[in-house]
Chain A
């Protein structure tokens, strides 16, 4: 694949053209646009396309691509008397944070992008935000949830994930007030940025509800045998097991729990059950596993953005890729859709105006209601809690989009 997976390329094409472009870009980024009848708006997207995070990077790329394709097929973004086609400039940062920062600087200074999507995860997004802030480039972070990313006093950074606590608080609330005899929680976390952070948040949420956290164990990245940890866990007979990790970890954990006969009343896993692959791989074992995510295809909103209703977005995604979108893909698409609404509201692609429009946004999208707090992190989203029932994920919270009641027990 080529360096720039462009959706439109009005002037340049082929390797020779790219070399010429590279030579000219530093000095004449503006010239390439003015000659085209329909102008091009560049959005930079540093992604981990290779290395440890590449599955996540590819997800984000699919989300962005779908947005760019949808916009360009609809004729581009119209502001005033100009119409812009969207071109997403991708850079692979090899899953290395320093490269991500370097990529952001390169995209802004050399490729001349007008806007930026943050690299994956809280750490890299935070590191890269210092660059976009300095160049005053409005930046949307689709996969950064930690509030510490946003509390730096930056003006140009906006995030589409609510803090981790918004996932664990409703979970703890539902379980603690279920009327079931649930007193003890065992937490089992992958020692990795997001899985560990969400596990610590769960511990806090559980304690706030008066539940007793009887164990908090971490497992190393790449662990294949959880036997000893589960043998210990079985002795303490927790009512609620909360396990974090990525999909492959959680499939393995679910199977090994079953092998060792751990049968809690509630089993919550983040962030695997949000993916269809988890249900397919775990089969009957997936039944009654609960989870929470920032978005789920089962939620239903009537969006004012380019994608429209949630069901329309899901259908468009399925038509394009043949699979159901998960929260990471949807958040990436939403980042584009939100940026587009802000540009249309601002009536220009001038950075300061778009930044102000983003800050003042109050709309409903396919992804959910969108409003940013003072710090730039979204605060209008109610992340759904869901449970796998009869082979499909059913939303049990929030009330407006609820599909089923939470079930207890029956975890073998």
Chain B
């Protein structure tokens, strides 16, 4: 409990951000929370289980379109968000059964292609999705300040849920099983871990909140188009964030998401054209010098004092 309390306090503190009355800051906060949802979700399949999934964009886009289409059909907004979570989870379950028997690079490529396929389907299915013209969502008739707060808190709540999910997984048999799978999948199977089931559950967990984040995002910006929500970068960024913070830990992806957001914002602000390249170089350097992420730095220093902490033990297996 002493470990959970500070985290809850920090979340409560962040939730008070609207008090500052700066809507730009709230926008950044909402993006930060969205990044955290994606990084934490990826962490379950990529960090714990060691499966390099590039399917985040597929789940995100699927959630965004599910939410947008349902809202367009008159479904109450929060219900549309929940439906998007379920749609992403269902899709991940089916997809997981199909591609989780692949390993390493093969799995990475297969998961990467999924977003491309969905992008093509969404673009071609003009009658349902508006195709290349994109989809407009019903505009909320509340003040824009209220909107900024609403979406910030909703995204923050989603991020907190994802964090709790990570914590539960890490301390549950599932987390143990996934770490075993990462270290040696065949041996895990032999000692009685149902590897297929565990991997599919991990894949579903890596999708469910990302789908919700996609739907929230769609409601937030009022307008989505296929290349925006199925962007390959959406798959890559969570991986970078998790690596930055410390993949396979519970708090690492959150720290990575915040760090990434800050760097992205600073570089973007100060360079007009080559910001993408500058950010890339910065990240390469950071990952090069911090192979265990930011949390890895702490862990190495603290290791003699606390050798067997459940949270920190996971990311060591590189």
Chain A residues within 8 Å of B, Cβ to Cβ:
1-5, 15, 18-19, 22, 49-50, 52, 90-92, 94, 96-98, 101-102, 105-106, 109-110, 123, 126-127, 130-131, 134, 148, 152, 190-193, 195-197, 218, 220-221
Contact = CB atoms under 8 A, between A and B. Distances in A.
B124 A127 contact: no
B224 to A, nearest CB: 8
B134 A193 contact: yes
A97 B228 contact: yes
Contact of A123 (B31, B225, B272, B273): B225
B285 interface: no
Given A1-B273, A109-B24, A221 B123 contact: yes
Interface in B132-176: 132-134, 136, 139, 144
Contacts of A134: 144
Interface residues of B, number: 34
Contacts of B223: 97, 123, 126-127
Q: Is the interface of B mostly helix, strand, loop or mixed?
A: helix
Given A102-B27, A127-B221, A220 B120 contact: yes
Contacts of A152: 139
B126 interface: yes
A123 B134 contact: yes
Contacts of B139: 130, 152
B265 to A, nearest CB: 9
B185 to A, nearest CB: 37
B131 interface: yes
B217 interface: yes
B23 interface: yes
Given A109-B24, A110-B24, A221-B132, A5 B225 contact: no
25 contacts: A1-B272, A3-B269, A3-B270, A3-B272, A22-B269, A52-B227, A90-B272, A92-B272, A97-B228, A98-B221, A102-B31, A105-B27, A106-B24, A109-B22, A110-B24, A123-B134, A123-B223, A148-B136, A152-B139, A191-B126, A196-B126, A196-B133, A197-B133, A218-B124, A221-B132
Sorted nearest first, the 3 A-B pairs with minimum C-beta distance are: A192-B132, A191-B132, A134-B144
B133 A105 contact: no
B271 interface: yes
Given A49-B272, A218-B126, 20 more contacts: A1-B274, A3-B269, A15-B270, A50-B276, A92-B268, A92-B275, A97-B221, A102-B31, A106-B24, A126-B223, A130-B144, A131-B144, A148-B136, A190-B132, A191-B124, A192-B132, A193-B133, A196-B126, A196-B133, A220-B124
